[in-house]
Structure 1
Amino acid sequence: MKVLKFGGTSVGSAENINKVISILDQQSKTTNIAVVVSAVGGITDKLLEAASLACDKNLDYKQKYDTIWSIHNSVIEGLFSNTKNDKALQKQQDELQELVSEKLNALKSLLNGIYLINELSPKTKDKLLSFGEDLSSTIIYHTLHSRSVDATLKNSQELITTDANFNNATVNFKITNPKIQSFFESNSKAIVLLPGFVSKSVNGDITTLGRGGSDYTAAIIAAAMEVDELQIWTDVSGMYTTNPKLVKQAAPIVELSYKEAVELSHFGAKVLYPPTVMPVLKKKIPIVIKNTLDPEAIGTTITQNVTPNGNSPVKGISNIDNVALLTLQGNGMVGVPGFSKRLFETLAQEKINIILITQSSSEHTICIGISDFDAQRAKEAVDAVFEYEITLHKIDPIVLETNLSIIAVIGDKMKNHQGISGKMFSTLGKNNVNIRAIAQGASERNISAVIHKNDVKKALNSLHEQFFEIKTKQINLFITGVGNVGERLIEQIKQQKAYLKENFKISLRVAGLSNSRTMVVNDDGVNLKNWKKELENGEKARLDGFFEHAKNLNLRNSVFIDITANEAVSNMYSHYLKESISVVACNKIACSGNIEYYNELKALSRQYNAAFLFETNVGAGLPVLDTLGHLIASGDKVNTIQAVLSGSLNFIFNNFNAETTFHDIVKQAQQEGYTEPDPRIDLSGIDVARKVLILARESGHAVELSDLTSESFLTEKASNSDTVDDFFQTLIEDESYYQGLFKSAQDNNCQLKFVAEFNDGKAKVGLQEIPEGHPFYNLKGKDNIVMFYTQRYPEQPLIIKGAGAGADVTASGLFADIIRIANN
């Protein structure tokens, strides 16, 4: 024999009830089954709403009643939708509707009575709530009967006897078990249908079994009959590794022990209510959680002993929301017995349930977790009890913290595996999830942590990634500035996404995009196949708005990527870092501006465990800063830096000669994307100055931009031009000057290069004539070159050379920084 219980969703529509009937038909062919059903989905809440309105003298209760009537009538019509040409079925439908109408009329009379007397007692409330299961079981039974299924309907109130504790009655098993056994021993039907949740007191009054009552009904019958299996049919395929609504990678757990199931249920897994397990636990009856909407899914089997499968001992990660933390503390508690007793007695008298307890070994502090709903009442009660000690300053007034949640890592065998708690807390720490309290029982079956409710999604995803996924690390990207370089970066991400996931277990997801006009943010990730259209239809762009989106989404491993040259964007870096959102910057302003801000960003990066990377600030995609960082970290010291750091200027002077005009070459460089849209930024030398300044700072020198010497090669008219067009006009007018620069270099058998130097703590940039044989002489195209003279490389420098400009290589440099963060 088996017992099957179907929840409200499973019987919430004609379509779902048909699926239930199909399951019953299949299972009843091999064994007798008892079937416990809940009220039609949502009806219990509607009954309570109607009663509350009636009790408040609000005539809207009649509308609620009409809704209840309509829902049940709709279910019946759906179940008997093929009765047009079948008079017998039509008659059965009419009889069922008449029977249901009688029950609903009785409900209406009860609601009218509540309205008249303006009162809803616990006893009346139980009578009211019993209508839900009574109606659903009646409808399902008559549907089975109309389809010639071998079934009978038995009212659970005739089998389950309780005390008179209305709304949460206690079962009298000495009376109940013999009744159940006697009935089923005499039953000859293949299927026995029973309403869940309802019962009767020893005095014959209707009672209910409280929260999870239908599950409890099924467990009571299963234990009394010592059945082969208890099946709980719901709308999900078992108990999940964590909340699937918050973690998309969550998966059903195939097998759990009773104790693991109880822990998961207590900590928020809504599929099973803990008291359900108790009657069957003693009899070691397996419980199987199945999905009515997907009956072929394996589901979760809960048994006494679980076969080890060699995987992680962690079985699930669960959470409880709406938690408050009460802290009793003070020096007067140390070594004085009785404080804990008084605290817990006070809460017990207030009927406040304690979810979590932790106490410092110094006895200076006791923390307890309770429901937010009870928090203020608990604080007032405890403060009143300890008023004398608080007045004498022996203890502090109760400290109350709200808006918290508890997350719990659960598994039977965790105590036999080292490092579980270490993995848990290090994972939370890396994602800047602050832990307010910790509790771990001696059994080590449950490790719990109290965190802010806003961090729950990030915490669950991070822990699930750590304990259940194939070590795939998801990186969530928020990109601002999607022009030429940004577009190439997105294309590279799209191209490499599958490769990175397969070979490096890195999953890249673009969660936000912004340009100067619009922005789009999506928790599930922006569709990279259609990102331009999504961005075009996005909301109006705001720097603070984009940051708020990233902050509020609170995604793990978040990275902000700045591909602009905008100072206002660079001023936002500190805000991101303080939220543990890493920053990857193509923008040079933050690192070459005020040194106090540069140092602040470095400090925030360390404090909040968020990377601050800006490899593309110098040399685009070349590993200049990475190499320099390794030199410094390994104890080397930089003496001198010589570099050609402008790919645009190198392109210009490599292509400028007596047969071309300086104007045309600069125009070409602008059109091909080697310079900024405003070429004055490149030709003024400020860009190179910023780069060498960053190299100096990364070498450990506190240098400001004002300390740097810049020798401009532009004419005074070019330097003082008001617009880009004016600037280009000066190039035409001063062509003879630029030809003179070229001729001088040619006469000296030299090449013109714009060189950056740093030596003895001083930096300078300027146009130089480079003689033949020098490493800079043959530098072609848009290449950059950097030479580091260090204590380890005093005579022959360490040289880094390659393309230092262009959208593709700059995008690849940004991409490399993203991968560095992912591999951290």
Structure 2
Amino acid sequence: MNVLKFGGTSVGSAENIKKVIAILDSYSQKESVICVVSAVGGITDKLLRAGEFAQQKNESYLSEFKAIKEIHLNLLSELIPIQNDAVKEYVESKLTILKSLLDGIYLINELSPKTSDKLVSFGELLSSYIVAETMKSQGLNAVRKNSQDLIVTNSKFTKAEVNFGVTNMNIREYFKNANQKITILPGFISKSDSGEITTLGRGGSDFTAAIIAAALKVNRLEIWTDVSGMYTANPKLVKQAYPIERLSYQEAMELSHFGAKVLYPPSLQPVLVLDIPILIKNTNDPDAHGTVITSDKSNGFSKAAKGISNISNIALLTLQGNGMIGIPGFSKRLFETLAQEKINVIFITQASSEHSICFGIDENDASLAAESINLTFENEISLLKIDPIIVEKDLSIVALVGDNMKNHQGISGRMFSALGKNNINIRAIAQGASEKNISAVIAEKDVKKALNTIHESFFEDQTKQLNVYITGVGNVGERLVEQIQQQKKYLKEQLKINLRVIGLSNSRTMIFDESGLSLKSWKEQLASGEKATLEGFLERNKSFNLRNSIFVDVTANEEVSKVYADYLRESIAVVACNKIACSSTFENYSNLKRLSVKYNAPFLFETNVGAGLPIIDTLNHLIASGDKITSIQAVLSGSLNFVFNNFDDTAKFHDVVKQAQKEGYTEPDPRIDLSGVDVARKILILARESGTKMNLEDIENDSFLTENNLKSDSVDDFYKTLIADEAHFQKLYASAKKNDCQLKYVAEFNGENAKVGLKEIPSDHPFYNLKGKDNIVMFYTQRYPEQPLIIKGAGAGADVTASGLFADIIRIGN
């Protein structure tokens, strides 16, 4: 014989009831089946609400009753559309009795626990009748048996205690003589030994099923719901969560206590005592394996942790004071006070110093708890021995659960490290000596991020999710998005990085998708996106509060660079090809570095110097390994190198600069490149990364431009001055040619000072044969005193710059 229990969602619609019937029919082909059903989803709440309205003399109870009536009659008409007069008449008669009960509550404006039990019993009585009659109409051998005839309790209304001696005898006697293949039982309801209607309290339908299963000593109890078992985490908050194949009773109870709503463990006590396995199944996916719960603690030994759960709306209360140290009895008085007020304590932790006791309760009980505790300790508070109770709200508890965690070292460290890296502040910690549960109190706003972070660390084969927000999707930004789309599969399979682009912005519009934007149609989406603002982009990033978030700046905008600090304070990593921040005041540069460390948010800007070349990364490795930079010589402008590699006595300087701009090697305003300021910023960044305190004005800039060029008011005016001063540029070329040299714009740093300027490079110098838009950097260090460490390659261009940004993103992932 099988015992199956179907919850409210499983009988919440005609479609779902048909699925239930199909499952029962399948089972009954092999052996008899007992089915316990809950009220139709949402009906119990509606009944209670109708009762409360009636008690308050609020005629809204009539609207609630009308909704209850319509739901059941609609179900009936969908399930038994033909020849259902007798069935409909029975249901309407029960609804008439329900209406009379509500009218009575309204007239006397009183709703006692006894009346409340009678009121809510209508939910299960109606649902079980409809299911049974539907099965009969389909020719199935089904009978509804009223659980109130079997389960006998005391008269403790709303949470009656079962008389198991009488109840077990009733159940065995009934089923010994029952011939039907399918028996439908209403869950939750019972009768007292004096014949009054009672209910079994929270988890009552599970309790009914467990009582039946235990009395008949069946092989297992099946709980059918709307999910395929108990999950590694709440699948509504953690999309990567998956069903747990096997759990021990203790693990299931821990997960259920901490928010997993599939089970209410106390209601399953009858089967736990008899070691009857429990199977959690999905009505909507009956072929899914589900979760098996047994007494076997070796279930799934390969994983130390089995699942993560959480309880929201927690208040954390702290009793503290020097007067508590060494004085016995404080804990006893504290918890006696809470018990007297019927306040349930969910979480407790106490420092070994005995200076404080911290505990978590439901937020709704916080005011009453604080008032009662302060009254209990009124004398000690007045004598300044202890402080008035401290109350913190808007908190949640997250718990990592598993029987085998005690056999694995470093579990708690791994959990807290993962949370800390994502700036999730832990307010309190509790871990029992059994190590079945590690709990942490965190801010309610961080719950989703915390669950995803822990789940990623323990349950996702070390795949790390990166959530990227890109501002500035012009030439370089577009190539970056293309590279991400192209490499997405490779990153996931080979590097275990799940890279998602969550937000995109240009100067006009911005778009977001918390689950990841489609990179196939992002241009179309962005064209019709919402108006872009720096504040809006940041706020959306903060509101999503996703783990491992990265802000990518692909602009040359000073205003964008000013918001880096705001991102870092939110533990959001920053990747930038924008040089303005790192070449701004030394105080700002240092502050960004400090914030990066403080909030554990990487601040990477490899593309500030040399586009995709690993210049800054190499420099950082040298410094980190204990080497010291003695000097740096470099050609750091791909655009200037392109210009002087293509300029000679057969070409006009104006035309070469125009070509460089057209091919994307210069900024839209070429004065930024040709003035040498861009190169000065780059050598400044390298000097700072070498450990030297320096500002942009400290760098000597020997400009090769004429005074007319430098004073030009616009880009067009600048180009006119280039034409006018062509003789000046030809003179520079002629001098270099005469000396058998190449013109290169060189940046130099000698360990203390830096300068940039145009130089004639002789043929035996490493810079001489530098072609196209290439950059070259020579690091002279204590370890490389004579032959420098040289890095050389393309230092400009959309593709290489994008690849440099991409490399920084991957570096964060690793």
**TM-score (ref. length: structure 1):** 0.97
Structure 2 counterparts to residues 92-131 of structure 1, below 5 A: 93-131=84-122
- SS of the residue corresponding to residue 582 of structure 2 reads helix
Establish whether residue 415 from structure 1 lines up as the match of residue 406 from structure 2: yes
Partner of 2:712: 721
- SS of the residue corresponding to residue 158 of structure 2 reads coil
Pairing partner for 1:334 from 325, 330, 353: 325
Establish whether residue 615 from structure 1 lines up as the match of residue 606 from structure 2: yes
Check whether the contact 1:255–1:306 (CA below 8 A) recurs between aligned residues: no
**Alpha-carbon displacement from aligned partner over 1:751-777 (angstroms, at most 9, x marks no partner):** 111111111411111111111111111
- SS of the residue corresponding to residue 462 of structure 2 reads coil
Q: Shift in Å at residue 172 of structure 1?
A: 2.0
Establish whether residue 591 from structure 1 lines up as the match of residue 582 from structure 2: yes
Task: For 2:726 and 2:49, locate their aligned partners in 1 and report how far apart those are by CA, in whole Å.
Answer: 86
Q: Which moved more, 1:48-57 or 1:726-735?
A: 48-57
**Alpha-carbon displacement from aligned partner over 1:160-204 (angstroms, at most 9, x marks no partner):** 122222222222222222222221122121211111111112222
Q: Shift in Å at residue 308 of structure 1?
A: 4.5
Q: Shift in Å at residue 372 of structure 1?
A: 0.6
Task: For 1:207 and 1:720, locate their aligned partners in 2 and report how far apart those are by CA, in whole Å.
Answer: 92
Establish whether residue 652 from structure 1 lines up as the match of residue 639 from structure 2: no
Task: For 2:576 and 2:8, locate their aligned partners in 1 and report how far apart those are by CA, in whole Å.
Answer: 52
Partner of 1:386: 377
Task: For 2:526 and 2:387, locate their aligned partners in 1 and report how far apart those are by CA, in whole Å.
Answer: 53
Partner of 1:51: 51
Structure 2 counterparts to residues 31-46 of structure 1, below 5 A: 31-46=31-46
Percent identity, aligned pairs only? 67
Task: For 1:374 and 1:174, locate their aligned partners in 2 and report how far apart those are by CA, in whole Å.
Answer: 37
Partner of 2:80: 80
In the alignment, residue 434 of structure 2 is paired with which amino acid?
S
Task: For 2:45 and 2:268, locate their aligned partners in 1 and report how far apart those are by CA, in whole Å.
Answer: 25
Establish whether residue 704 from structure 1 lines up as the match of residue 690 from structure 2: no
Structure 2 counterparts to residues 433-444 of structure 1, below 5 A: 433-444=424-435
Q: Shift in Å at residue 306 of structure 1?
A: 4.7
- SS of the residue corresponding to residue 591 of structure 1 reads coil
Task: For 2:463 and 2:672, locate their aligned partners in 1 and report how far apart those are by CA, in whole Å.
Answer: 42
Task: For 1:44 and 1:308, locate their aligned partners in 2 and report how far apart those are by CA, in whole Å.
Answer: 36
Q: Which moved more, 1:495-504 or 1:24-33?
A: 24-33
Task: For 1:309 and 1:212, locate their aligned partners in 2 and report how far apart those are by CA, in whole Å.
Answer: 27
In the alignment, residue 489 of structure 1 is paired with which amino acid?
L
**Alpha-carbon displacement from aligned partner over 1:67-98 (angstroms, at most 9, x marks no partner):** 111111111111124x3xxxxxx2xx111111
Partner of 1:17: 17
Task: For 1:55 and 1:736, locate their aligned partners in 2 and report how far apart those are by CA, in whole Å.
Answer: 99
Task: For 1:495 and 1:395, locate their aligned partners in 2 and report how far apart those are by CA, in whole Å.
Answer: 62
Pairing partner for 1:361 from 346, 352, 370: 352
Check whether the contact 1:167–1:210 (CA below 8 A) recurs between aligned residues: yes
- SS of the residue corresponding to residue 427 of structure 2 reads strand
Q: Shift in Å at residue 573 of structure 1?
A: 0.9
Unaligned runs of 5+ residues in structure 1 are 84-89
Task: For 1:794 and 1:307, locate their aligned partners in 2 and report how far apart those are by CA, in whole Å.
Answer: 62
Q: Shift in Å at residue 206 of structure 1?
A: 1.2
Ranges of 4+ aligned residues in structure 1 off by more than 3 Å: 306-310
Task: For 1:165 and 1:661, locate their aligned partners in 2 and report how far apart those are by CA, in whole Å.
Answer: 100
RMSD: 1.1
Check whether the contact 1:258–1:277 (CA below 8 A) recurs between aligned residues: no
Q: Shift in Å at residue 10 of structure 1?
A: 0.5
Establish whether residue 183 from structure 1 lines up as the match of residue 183 from structure 2: no
Task: For 1:149 and 1:483, locate their aligned partners in 2 and report how far apart those are by CA, in whole Å.
Answer: 67
Partner of 1:748: 739
Check whether the contact 1:685–1:766 (CA below 8 A) recurs between aligned residues: yes
- SS of the residue corresponding to residue 508 of structure 1 reads strand
Task: For 2:332 and 2:553, locate their aligned partners in 1 and report how far apart those are by CA, in whole Å.
Answer: 57
Check whether the contact 1:320–1:406 (CA below 8 A) recurs between aligned residues: yes
In the alignment, residue 33 of structure 2 is paired with which amino acid?
I
Partner of 2:183: 192
Partner of 2:457: 466
Q: Shift in Å at residue 233 of structure 1?
A: 0.5
- Structure 1 residues 22 and 454, CA, compared in 2 at 3 Å: closer, same or farther? same
Partner of 1:790: 781
In the alignment, residue 743 of structure 1 is paired with which amino acid?
A
Q: Shift in Å at residue 749 of structure 1?
A: 1.4
In the alignment, residue 332 of structure 1 is paired with which amino acid?
G
Partner of 2:228: 237
In the alignment, residue 619 of structure 1 is paired with which amino acid?
G
In the alignment, residue 251 of structure 1 is paired with which amino acid?
Y
Check whether the contact 2:246–2:299 (CA below 8 A) recurs between aligned residues: no
Q: Shift in Å at residue 646 of structure 1?
A: 0.3
Task: For 2:301 and 2:127, locate their aligned partners in 1 and report how far apart those are by CA, in whole Å.
Answer: 44
Partner of 2:466: 475
Task: For 1:537 and 1:223, locate their aligned partners in 2 and report how far apart those are by CA, in whole Å.
Answer: 62
Pairing partner for 1:276 from 256, 259, 267: 267
Task: For 2:439 and 2:393, locate their aligned partners in 1 and report how far apart those are by CA, in whole Å.
Answer: 17
Check whether the contact 1:198–1:209 (CA below 8 A) recurs between aligned residues: yes
- SS of the residue corresponding to residue 787 of structure 1 reads strand
Q: Shift in Å at residue 277 of structure 1?
A: 2.3
Number of matched residues?
814
Partner of 1:66: 66
Establish whether residue 405 from structure 1 lines up as the match of residue 388 from structure 2: no
Q: Which moved more, 1:548-557 or 1:228-237?
A: 548-557
Partner of 1:807: 798
Structure 2 counterparts to residues 505-584 of structure 1, below 5 A: 505-584=496-575
Partner of 1:201: 192
Task: For 1:111 and 1:664, locate their aligned partners in 2 and report how far apart those are by CA, in whole Å.
Answer: 91
Check whether the contact 1:262–1:277 (CA below 8 A) recurs between aligned residues: no
Q: Shift in Å at residue 536 of structure 1?
A: 1.9
Check whether the contact 2:687–2:751 (CA below 8 A) recurs between aligned residues: no
Partner of 1:261: 252
Partner of 1:781: 772
- SS of the residue corresponding to residue 262 of structure 2 reads coil
Task: For 1:470 and 1:415, locate their aligned partners in 2 and report how far apart those are by CA, in whole Å.
Answer: 21
Partner of 1:86: none
Partner of 1:671: 662
In the alignment, residue 33 of structure 1 is paired with which amino acid?
V
**Alpha-carbon displacement from aligned partner over 1:704-730 (angstroms, at most 9, x marks no partner):** 111111111112122111111111121
Pairing partner for 1:135 from 118, 122, 126: 126
Partner of 1:631: 622
Check whether the contact 2:144–2:185 (CA below 8 A) recurs between aligned residues: yes
- SS of the residue corresponding to residue 403 of structure 2 reads coil
In the alignment, residue 77 of structure 1 is paired with which amino acid?
S
Check whether the contact 2:576–2:608 (CA below 8 A) recurs between aligned residues: yes
Partner of 1:683: 674
Check whether the contact 2:641–2:744 (CA below 8 A) recurs between aligned residues: yes
Q: Shift in Å at residue 326 of structure 1?
A: 0.7
- Structure 1 residues 99 and 774, CA, compared in 2 at 3 Å: closer, same or farther? same
Task: For 2:302 and 2:511, locate their aligned partners in 1 and report how far apart those are by CA, in whole Å.
Answer: 40
- SS of the residue corresponding to residue 592 of structure 1 reads coil
**Alpha-carbon displacement from aligned partner over 1:493-551 (angstroms, at most 9, x marks no partner):** 11111011111111111111111111112110111111112222222111111111111
- Structure 1 residues 240 and 760, CA, compared in 2 at 3 Å: closer, same or farther? closer
Partner of 1:319: 310
Unaligned runs of 5+ residues in structure 2 are none
**TM-score (ref. length: structure 2):** 0.99
Task: For 1:735 and 1:207, locate their aligned partners in 2 and report how far apart those are by CA, in whole Å.
Answer: 101
- SS of the residue corresponding to residue 524 of structure 2 reads helix
In the alignment, residue 140 of structure 1 is paired with which amino acid?
V
Pairing partner for 2:140 from 126, 142, 149: 149
Task: For 2:306 and 2:739, locate their aligned partners in 1 and report how far apart those are by CA, in whole Å.
Answer: 76
Task: For 2:672 and 2:699, locate their aligned partners in 1 and report how far apart those are by CA, in whole Å.
Answer: 16
Task: For 1:798 and 1:141, locate their aligned partners in 2 and report how far apart those are by CA, in whole Å.
Answer: 84
Check whether the contact 2:692–2:751 (CA below 8 A) recurs between aligned residues: no
Q: Shift in Å at residue 610 of structure 1?
A: 1.0
Task: For 1:10 and 1:537, locate their aligned partners in 2 and report how far apart those are by CA, in whole Å.
Answer: 41
